[in-house]
Amino acid sequence: MKKVRLLLCLAGLFYLALGYGQNEKFKALFVYNFTNYVEWPGGTSGNFIITVVGYSPIVSELEAISKLKKVGNATIEVKVVNSASEIGSTNIVYVPAAKKKSVPEIADAMAGKPTLVITDMAQGKFGINFVEVNSKQSFQISKSNIEEHRLKVNSSLLELGTVVN
Amino acid sequence: MKSNNLTIRTILFLIAFLIATPGFSQQPDNQKKMPTKDEIMEMSYQDLLNMPFEQLIQLANVVGVSAEDLLQMIMNKDVSSASKTKEKVFQSPLSTTVITKEELTASGVTSIAEALRLVPGMIVREKTPGNYDLHIRGNDNTPPKNVNLYSEDAMSLVMIDNRPVFNYSFGGTFWETLPIDLNDVERIEVIRGPSSALYGPNAVGGVINIITKHPDSSKPTANANLQMGTQNNRIFNGGISGGVGKKFKYRVSGNYQYKERFQDDFYVFDINKRMSYDQMDSLHMYWGNAFQKPTHADTLFKEKITSKNLATDKFGANVFLYYDLNKEVNFVLSAGTQKSEVVSTTLGNAAIPYVGRTSNTQYVDVRAKAYGLDFQTNYMFGDQEVEKSNPGYHINPNIFNAQLEYDYKIGTLTLRPGVSYQATMYTDKKYVDIDAKEGFLNGDKRLSGIAGFFRADYKPFERLRLIAAIRADKYDIPDKTYLTYQFISTFNLNENNILRAVYSRANRGPFIVDSHADLTAASVPHVLSLYWSGNQNLKLPVMDMVEFGYRLKLFGRMMIDLEAFHNTTKDYSYFNLDSMVYKVQTGQPSRKGYIDYRNFDMNTVQNGITCNISVVVDKKINFSVFGTYQVTKINDFYPRTLGFMLTNLQTGLNAGNPKKVSVITPDSLVNTTNKSTPNVFGGMSLSYYPTHKLSISATGYFYTSQIIETTKVDVTNNTAKKNYFDGIAGVPDMYSVKAKFIPNLKVSYKFWKENSLYINARNFLGNSEKEFAYTDQIKGTYLVGVELNF
């Protein structure tokens, strides 16, 4: 009986652990700030949708921001999907590092759509990639990729990140 | 109200920031006017969202590394010992655990030995406060029913920056003689399983490699960690570091520890009770019905153990000099000294299990790396009394090592050939009358060995890694060459799943005492003398192991590390009674017993599994749980104590039957289970950082019960127990160490920048169970401390 209780306690501990959000505050703040420098075709009517692929602690941080801020006049809506095929119409797609292996299918699914794809890994397929430079949070930005998605990017954003092709 | 204050403070910071920032990117001095990390972390979302993006980026830079990367840092640390190249623990081909300096600080461990309670697969028992018995995976007390020496872990290699700090006189590690302390440690790397193909002799159970800190910059820094508490605990660590120019750096450190016992009495085997410090001097030597008081009995005990309270008293000082010519060429010179006195357990056969041990040693170590070549040489020397005031155990160690390796890469193939040389010389000539054979060495005694080794690491394709290591050690004593090897493969199922398989063979090296013992011991003056002799043709113990491992990353925040191992060890050597002679001569004892070192058929077979689960919840919480289950069989073991054999040979020994020889017949050998290694042992740790100023760390260590058998007991013949002192019947047949859980808690608060005040409670529930046979109760220790960093 003692062993059963111990196992239950451990299971409870893991459940709590997995349900506990990590502090992705600054990445979420960066994502919000990007919206000030990017222009979507037709503006941002309706809700401004940010889709996160797979579980990521950034979700709770983005939700916190959505309660405080709008993009233009649009309310921010945070969606979570499990795979590329579930991504519907969205303004931003966020790909956590844990979803690295899904990059090719996300690239295919998003090709040509007016969506800003932001990833948490250094790779060359998307508009903005979070990277760490000298233990500091930074981002790579690809003007050509953003424009392929029919978005316009303010040149001042390019000065804040590292421009890649 | 609090929120308003925070907003006002934030605005003030921003105003200061704005004033300071025109052209901030060209003016690094303005960093000084930035809000601190703590202040930024306390800012609200609203404040941060209202901030221009440029400023937000600046604040993010102050906060530093991203959370996701932090998870990787905490969970998947760098390790270099397992394959001799720097890689992530997750990719490590061997069963590997790394404890970082951050974990050492957070956990509140008070010594390097205690820190190993944070490592899966380690058995760590505190004999007396600050003095530990450590084993990797087990094989403790092998063979049972012999002297305490065989309870030491003589088959795990401990190193500081790849410099062995092994005790080649008797085998094992005297942990208090390490010149460094926690403050010097960058990380501790532990490899479980035989690894002598990579590290040389004695890396049989595994390797513990303690990597020291390297200054990050030439900027002068100083740190100190001071704690005091119950049992008169005083633990001081301090160091300064800096540099001249970009190429030359230095670090100087010092450490001191003092711990007292939880009791002031001592167990006496043959009366089966504890006696006070003063009573100990009144004991009489005993044999049969004869009592004899030892010469100088009033001072004898107090010379061995100089204080009834002392457990640990040690000091160390080190200097490290670094010269980095360029990325490819660098040199490190380190030198240090240590002085220690502890009350720990005896190595030999004695009336009580306690003995004082002193050590005063120095070392110098030089490492050089240039274009793939890796050279290291070191020398250690000093003065050690491994059993205080016993003339046979006062020795001067001299240990020299030199090693050269070369890394050669061709595509995905890395080749690493190397050679090494070791010479050890121990002498007791300063302290004994050699002609009278007062010592156990009686002069200069040497061992040396030269080795060649080769390691190949190849990735035929991205997911598969194959490693082969082979090493040949040529010893002078025994005059033999031993071949050891490791064959390792890892297969990445994907980036989150790795399978491992290891087959390896390792051997223990020769020890001075096995090879050169030359001791005359008057067990009962004028009645019986025992003569110990070394053996220069012993086969060295060899372990073969098969291991399978699986590592899994889940959810980007959990790592599970499983390892299943099977090992067999043969060619054990230990001493036993060979024969006894009866001869009446004036001034000579009538009975002379001859003890020698021999190989026995005994072998051990161990099967076990270790699991470690680490979870990084977020920047604020991480925890781990780990445990090992193992069973060890001892086969073909002669289950009799030296005392039994001594009695047996004396029976009927007289002028008509002047010589008797011990005969161990095959039918007297038994197969048994090693009860001295707990079946289950492990630990857990939980770190919680509710704010950037406050940290809470809870750790725990546990083991199930064990039974330790020494030569003092013989379950098959109780009459063999009447060896030494006032013989009273009733000595326990064997000592049972009860299961114990040891919880610890450290709460630390940063009162200014990186300077903290903390409370540190070790074994805080105060469970007083002894952790080792016949020794001290280990109760709770409660400390307060301060850590200063400038």
Other beta carbons less than 10 A from residue B232's beta carbon: 14
Structure confidence by residue, pLDDT tens digits, A37-90 = 999 987 767 899 999 998 787 888 898 899 888 898 889 999 999 888 899 899
Mean pLDDT of chain B: 85
Q: Calculate how close chain A gets to B65, using CA atoms only, in Å.
A: 5
pTM, two decimals, is: 0.77
Residue of B nearest to A101 (CA): B495
In B, minimum Cα distance to A24 occurs at: B67
Predicted local confidence at residue B120, as pLDDT: 97
Question: Strands, E, within A15-155: which ranges?
Answer: 38-39, 48-53, 70-71, 74-81, 92-95, 116-119, 128-133, 136-141, 152-153
Q: Which residue of A has its CA nearest to B59?
A: A26
Q: Which secondary structure element, helix H or strand E, spans residue B6, and what is its range?
A: helix B2-20
Q: Chain A partners of B625 at a C-beta cutoff of 8 Å?
A: 10
Contact B305, B145 (CB under 8 A): no
ipTM of the complex: 0.83
The answer to whether B63 contacts chain A (CB < 8 Å) is yes
Contacts of A32 in chain B (CB under 8 A): 49
Number of residues assigned to chain A: 165
Same domain, B450 and B577: yes
Q: What is the pLDDT of residue B589?
A: 84
The set of residues, in sequence order, having a beta carbon less than 8 Å from that of B410 and lying 6+ positions away, is none
What is the number of alpha carbons within 13 Å of residue B400 lying toward its C-beta? 8
Res B37: pLDDT: 67
Decide if A17 and B623 are in contact by the 8 Å CB cutoff. Answer: yes
| Residues in chain B with pLDDT values less than 70 | 1-34, 36-38, 41-42, 64-86, 270-271, 281-300, 349-350, 523-525, 619, 711-734
- Assess if residue B155 is contained within a domain: yes
pLDDT of residue A5: 57
B556–A101 CB contact, under 8 Å: no
- pLDDT value for B227: 96
From B67, B494, B617, residue closest to A20, measured CB to CB: B617
Contact across the interface for A21 and B56, Cβ inside 8 Å = no
Mutate to test the interface with B, among A23, A118, A153 (most CBs of B within 10 A): A23
Residue B298 within any structural domain of the chain: yes
Residue of A nearest to B63 (CA): A136
CB contact under 8 A, A132 and B625: no
Instruction: Domain count for chain B, please give it.
Output: 2
> Are B446 and B419 members of one domain?
yes
Residue A17: pLDDT band (50, 70, 90) is: very low
Rounded Cα distance, B331 and A43, in Å: 61
DSSP code, position A84: G
Q: What does the CA dihedral B331, B336, B342, B344 come to, rounded to 10 degrees? A: 30
Instruction: Choose one of B64, B97, B118: the last residue of a domain.
Output: B64
> A24 or B637: which carries more pLDDT confidence?
B637
In sequence order, what DSSP letters do the residues of B526-581 get, joined into one string? TTEEEEEE--TTPPPPEEEEEEEEEEEEETTTEEEEEEEEEEEEE--EEEEEEEEE
Residues B80 and B52 in one domain: no
Contacts with B555 from chain A: Cβ below 8 Å: 18, 55, 98
Range of the domain at B38: 2-64
Q: Inform me whether the C-beta atom of residue B28 falls under 8 Å from chain A C-beta atoms.
A: no
The answer to the question of residue B729 being in a domain is no
- Statement to judge: residues B202 and B253 lie in one domain: yes
Q: The domain spanning residue B550 has which CATH number?
A: 2.40.170.20
Q: Across-strand partners of B466?
A: B458, B489
B621: nearest CA in chain A? A17
Answer yes or no: is B454 within a domain: yes
Rounded to whole angstroms, how far apart are CA atoms A49 and A91? Answer: 5
Looking at residue B728, its pLDDT comes to 32
CB-nearest to B56 from A17, A29, A138 is A29
pLDDT at B621: 87
Q: Identify the structural domains of chain A with CATH numbers, from first to last.
A: 22-163 (3.40.50.2300)
Preferred mutation among A16, A136, A139 to probe B, highest tally of B CBs within 10 A: A136
Q: Is B452 part of a structural domain of the chain?
A: yes
**Residue A145 pLDDT greater than 80, yes or no:** yes
